[in-house]
Structure 1
Amino acid sequence: MNGILPVFRRSLRESWRSALGWTVGVTAVQALYLPLYPSLGGSDQLQGLIDALPKELVDTLGYDQISSGAGYTQSTFYGLMGFLLLTIAAVSWGSAALAGAEESGRAELDLAHGIGRVPYALESALSVLVRLLWLGAFSGLVVWALNGPAELELEPVRIVGASAALTGLAFLTASAALLAGAATGRRVWATGAGAGIAVLGYILQALAKQSSDLEWLNALSPYAWVYRQSPLAEGVDAAGLALTWGVALVLASASALALRARDLRG
């Protein structure tokens, strides 16, 4: 493999169909949910439905703010469906990048052609990051495009912040999968680590909303780091955003060290 960033370039070249599919899927979800806001967001029927739900569930899903455009977009897309879809994409790409390549034998073949383990891991992580950045940016553009027609009344700068939060959260999940894959060489462990981080983070912030005595759990939840303060309604929490991206980058860097420190499985 020759040229600049060969692993990165090949990974993007081979994954563009997957990235396109995820882009279409995310866009379809946005096109399904967001235009419904004028008829659903402030309707008495929806409010009556929400009032009938347990308060704990309403707080967890963010439905207590659903009557506003910012609350509706946060609770339906950024905090739920967008989070779910980007998490699945992140876990899939992150587990395939190192663990999947090792299980298929490709990693061993690539490394035999003179690519160092650290560059190999970092280029793989960069490829995952670029794809997630694309999904985050494109989804933000779709929200911006639907902002007027759907009467969401969102501030463009806050859409940028919400998209950065969603992307950072997804990349943290992917980085956990990368690290587990680099450390074990097994895709099942990489998938479990990535999905586990996402699920645990969501559960912890949900528990924190049930009682003031449990609010300390927010400090352990990446989901709460970026969403405890609504990015669309109040502006993104800069400290939480920086922490999320910082942890994600540390985990991605650690995957390179983990891959370098062990023998590949034959």
Structure 2
Amino acid sequence: MSRLPLFTRSLAGSWRPLLGWAAGILAVLSLYLPLYPSLAGQDFQDLLQSLPPELISALGYDELTTGAGYTQSTFFGLIGFALFTIAAVSWGTRAIAGDEESGALELVLAHAVGRVQLVLERSAAIAARLLLLGLFTGLAVLVFNRPAQLGLVPSHVWAGCAALIGLALLTASIALAAGAITGRRVWALAAAVAVAVGGYALNAVANQNPDLDYLHAWTPYHWAFGAGPLSNGADWAGLGALYGTSALLVLLAAFALTRRDIGA
């Protein structure tokens, strides 16, 4: 009998959805990255200069004409962020709150599975899925790197993937914790979406004015991408904030679940 029954069962039952997410990621990368050589010329730079500076700052298009900036702006900071966030919200919301509302959580706990064990194993399964998607993303980006003339440094690609995984993991952990505290799927979903969308929006607002730079400290999106990992390599402080906060949220979820009547 497996020592991690919930973890292994969760991963074993999620390979089809993972293939679907991987296919979606590959489709997006195949659509955007090969376009870079045709957008890196002077005409495209002139087009960017004609746009309002506020719009360019809000969307993070400041370095769009470089390979690292283009990859960050089109995938890691936008479409990839959206895909990873959707997956994280879905998995985190379903892990506790979804099962509790369906009645499945009570059945699981009736089979000699502790509440802390349940939280830890299910959070580990979510982290493992995100890690697999992140590894696939990094490999796919590196495959496109030379043909698309992106000029990316491999270690910087992995730094960007670590930031993307950490950001999605934080979102999933918020959904997990909210679900453990309330037992309601709608609250888990609302908390995760509020942090993900609110963090993105707050980062965009902070980019508009140097006087608002202090807002960056409050957005996980900036923790992940504020230092430009694809251009400059890993930002260990930002990664520490993402993964450290995620760990604290998992502990909070475990504590909350042990103090609450399931199904109440």
TM-score between the two structures when normalised by the length of structure 1: 0.96
Report what 2:157 is aligned to.
159
Q: Flag the 1:16–1:43 CA change in 2: closer, same or farther, 3 A.
A: farther
TM-superposed CA distance for 1:170, in Å, is 0.4
Contact 1:42–1:68 at 8 Å: present in 2 too? no
Q: Secondary structure at the match of 2:88?
A: helix
Report what 2:97 is aligned to.
99
**What amino acid maps onto 2:38 in structure 1?**
S
Aligned equivalents of 1:41, 1:8: Cα separation in 2? 45
Report what 1:30 is aligned to.
29
Contact 1:226–1:236 at 8 Å: present in 2 too? no
1:239 equivalent in alignment to 2:230: no
| Deviations 1:14-37 (CA, angstroms, capped at 9, x unpaired) | 221111111110111011100110
Bigger drift between 253-262 and 147-156 goes to 253-262
**What amino acid maps onto 1:8 in structure 2?**
F
Contact 1:41–1:72 at 8 Å: present in 2 too? no
1:187 equivalent in alignment to 2:211: no
TM-superposed CA distance for 1:52, in Å, is 3.2
Q: Secondary structure at the match of 1:21?
A: helix
Report what 1:16 is aligned to.
15
**What amino acid maps onto 1:71 in structure 2?**
G
1:223 equivalent in alignment to 2:235: no
Q: Secondary structure at the match of 2:14?
A: helix
Bigger drift between 254-263 and 171-180 goes to 254-263
**What amino acid maps onto 1:33 in structure 2?**
Y
**What amino acid maps onto 2:180 in structure 1?**
A
Aligned equivalents of 2:42, 2:4: Cα separation in 1? 53
Report what 2:39 is aligned to.
40
Q: Give identity over the alignment, percent.
A: 54
Contact 1:69–1:151 at 8 Å: present in 2 too? yes
**What amino acid maps onto 2:115 in structure 1?**
R
Gaps of 5+ in 2: none
Aligned equivalents of 1:122, 1:254: Cα separation in 2? 11
| Deviations 1:200-239 (CA, angstroms, capped at 9, x unpaired) | 1111111111111110000001111121111111222111
Q: Secondary structure at the match of 2:230?
A: coil
| Deviations 1:73-100 (CA, angstroms, capped at 9, x unpaired) | 0000111111010000000010011111
Aligned equivalents of 1:163, 1:42: Cα separation in 2? 27
Aligned equivalents of 1:19, 1:96: Cα separation in 2? 16
Gaps of 5+ in 1: none
Bigger drift between 130-139 and 7-16 goes to 7-16
TM-superposed CA distance for 1:43, in Å, is 4.8
Q: Secondary structure at the match of 1:233?
A: helix
